[in-house]
Structure 1
Amino acid sequence: MSKNLTKPFLLILVALVIVACYFIFRPFLTEIFVAAILASVFYTPYLRFAKFLHGRKKLAASLMCILLLVIIILPTIQLLAYTGQRSVVAYNATVVFFNEHNTNEIFQADFFNRGVLGYLHLSSYDLNSTTLQSTLLEIFKKSSNWLLDGATMALKGTTDFVVSLILVIIAMFFFFVDGQGMLKRLMRISPLPDKYDQTLFLKFRAVSYATFISTFVAAVAQGLVGAIGFAIIGFPALLAGILVALLSLLPYIGAALFYVPMGIYYLLIGNIWQGIFILIWGTMVISTIDNVIRTYMVKGEAEINPIFVLFSILGGVVMFGFWGVVLGPLVVALAVTVFHIYELEFCDMLEDREMGDEEEKVAVVNK
């Protein structure tokens, strides 16, 4: 074969092999990406395990995988079961409350009709007690059913989830053990300069770590303080903590979607101090701790605007299901990393354009 044809033939062969590998691995791409991301995020603790175990990498990787399984997966299954059960109990308790209390006194009181409805410009509408009760019960029923169905699917649809989980754990084990070698081989065959390969990996790892850890640590912390606050007013602490933690995955507005309606609810039924307390506790403690943790853990260049984190989580869940909570923000992290490299590559051109814009502005002013 002519030497002139060797490289084109080899490139075509490589392209065909990549396409074939894609179709082979396509059913498991989500699990592979999740495992790679988790291995990257927890690689530093793995190295510490390996050092403590005198370089026994496979043992360190096994312990790290077991630790993540015990700390994250098993508690999640228990919390899902508890949430599904408590959602039904909460709905039944709400029905009993409306049946036992004369809620006409709430909805027909002057402070409600003139104050709340007047402020919302709804006082002219026929919003009677029966209508509001049925509407609230319907909303609560749908929310409870959604929680129950979600928990049931997560727990009963065990076949696919368990297989997916096993694949993630196995892949994560090999990424821990051989990940560094894989990365070196990828960097060697990459067409990018070595400095960009290094920047791509380090920047992506920093953004991934900051986004993943800060988001989930903030959710756990908000869940804990939320449970404490609701326990003080007599609301089931574990259920409140779970709901606050889950909603806290949505930056800024997440926890408020729970404690604000609950505070208003307590005010409407006459439990004034409970309503005021939970609104103050939510604003001053639950929401504040989110900002404190993110500010402390997310360092400058590793920061992603929280609005992108919000939409990446929602979009990730729609696209990838359960694992989208991890994959969504990390895709955005990869985009941030790529744009950073683009900025480095074309910084001279960008600076020249900025200087040209400044010169045009000066020329316009001088005229």
Structure 2
Amino acid sequence: MRKLKETFFSRRGLYLREIKKYSILLTFFFLLVVSFYIVKSYLTALLSAFIFAYLVFPIHKRMRKTLGNSFSALISVALVLGVIFIPSLLVFGGIAQQIISYFSTNGSQLLETLESSKLVGKLGIQLNSLDNISTYLISLFSSALKFVPSMLVFLLITIFSMYYFILDWDKLSAKLRTYLPFVNKEKVARDISEVTRSIVYGTFLVAVIEFVIAALGFYLLGVNFFLLLAALVFLLAFVPLGPAVVWVPAVALYLLRADYFTAIGVLVLGLVLSFGIDTIARAKLVGNKTNINPVVMLLGIFGGVPLFGLFGFVIGPLILAYTLKIMEEVFSPV
């Protein structure tokens, strides 16, 4: 009888421990799902903040020795705002102004050309006056204004998150390493760091340099929509062929117009962008340690932008590259 009681209580204790274990797991899973839905709308802001924090952390690391951790993090955030966010807003404003200016000056001529076009006739598009185009542009602008509050919230979360990421970067990176479920944690962490460096420094910064040089070059050559073309150069710096997709058609267009001076100027600028900046700057910033497959970059951009918005062209390739590195570690022979 005594033995039976001991067996009963022993099994009862075992069952209770199992129930407790699974209850903890279910509670953790439930909280994880709820937490995901809470931050889901702001996931892009958090990932963007992480990228910018990674970008300026080397500067913060040098400054904090003399300025202190908090003040140095604040200056680093101000640096990102001054160098990336504010210029980006000015560029978007400049592109919009160039487009509006072009349509206000050449709108009637463009309308006549479109009306006489056989393609427009075949498509059954009616362009009776500029009022239709104006009404469409106004409605488009009104729709865009609805996104201003959400964009402000996005910006606020990005700035605050970036500040705390920079402030606690050492603790954060150390904690993330402990969470890596691999035997060779240091190797995986090093591989991920190299991939991040390759994409953030070797691609993003190269794209920024190419944008600045392209905008300045197109402006000095008197090319229309120089900011829009420079923005395309920036975006295409992430994919194979890159800036050549912009400057090669531009050279062909100016040759057809018999504007040989501008054609030669754009050709020289294009060669500097495609071969000089892309090769030399990328090698200086990253070296040859990590080469991201162009297909990964391409899929990451086209898949990342619809999912994560504007910053998807960096976040998408990063996530794909991280996944491939982790798969290499998981399936590598022990």
Q: Same fold (TM over 0.5)?
A: yes
What residue is the counterpart of 1:303 in the other structure?
291
Check conservation: 2:46, 2:158, Cα contact below 8 A. Answer: yes
1:22 equivalent to 2:39? Answer no
Distance, in Å, in 1 between the alignment partners of 2:176 and 2:238 is 34
2:79 alignment partner, SS class: helix
What residue is the counterpart of 1:269 in the other structure?
257
Q: How does 1:317-328 map to 2 (within 5 A)?
A: 317-328=305-316
Check conservation: 1:84, 1:149, Cα contact below 8 A. Answer: no
Q: State the TM-score, normalizing by the size of structure 2.
A: 0.76
Aligned mate of 1:242, from 230, 233, 250? 230
Check conservation: 2:177, 2:189, Cα contact below 8 A. Answer: no
Distance, in Å, in 2 between the alignment partners of 1:321 and 1:22 is 18
TM superposition shift of 1:299: 3.4
TM superposition shift of 1:230: 2.9
Distance, in Å, in 1 between the alignment partners of 2:150 and 2:300 is 24
1:157 equivalent to 2:147? Answer yes
**Over aligned residues, Cα RMSD in angstroms?**
3.6
Q: Which amino acid aligns with 2:64?
A: A
Distance, in Å, in 2 between the alignment partners of 1:154 and 1:69 is 22
Q: Which amino acid aligns with 2:274?
A: S
TM superposition shift of 1:207: 1.0
1:202 equivalent to 2:195? Answer no
Distance, in Å, in 1 between the alignment partners of 2:43 and 2:81 is 20
Distance, in Å, in 2 between the alignment partners of 1:329 and 1:147 is 33
1:60 equivalent to 2:91? Answer no
Distance, in Å, in 2 between the alignment partners of 1:132 and 1:228 is 37
Distance, in Å, in 2 between the alignment partners of 1:245 and 1:84 is 17
Closer, same or farther: CA 257–10 of 1 in aligned 2, 3 Å: same
Closer, same or farther: CA 267–93 of 1 in aligned 2, 3 Å: farther
Q: Which amino acid aligns with 2:306?
A: V
Distance, in Å, in 2 between the alignment partners of 1:318 and 1:226 is 26
Distance, in Å, in 2 between the alignment partners of 1:332 and 1:235 is 37
1:181 equivalent to 2:192? Answer no
Distance, in Å, in 1 between the alignment partners of 2:137 and 2:303 is 19
Distance, in Å, in 2 between the alignment partners of 1:268 and 1:132 is 22
Closer, same or farther: CA 231–71 of 1 in aligned 2, 3 Å: closer
What residue is the counterpart of 2:161 in the other structure?
171
Aligned mate of 1:71, from 77, 83, 86? 83
Closer, same or farther: CA 233–182 of 1 in aligned 2, 3 Å: closer
Which deviates more from structure 2 when the two are superposed, residues 27-36 or residues 316-325?
27-36
Distance, in Å, in 1 between the alignment partners of 2:165 and 2:45 is 12
Unaligned ranges ≥5, structure 1: 104-129, 349-367
What residue is the counterpart of 2:59 in the other structure?
45
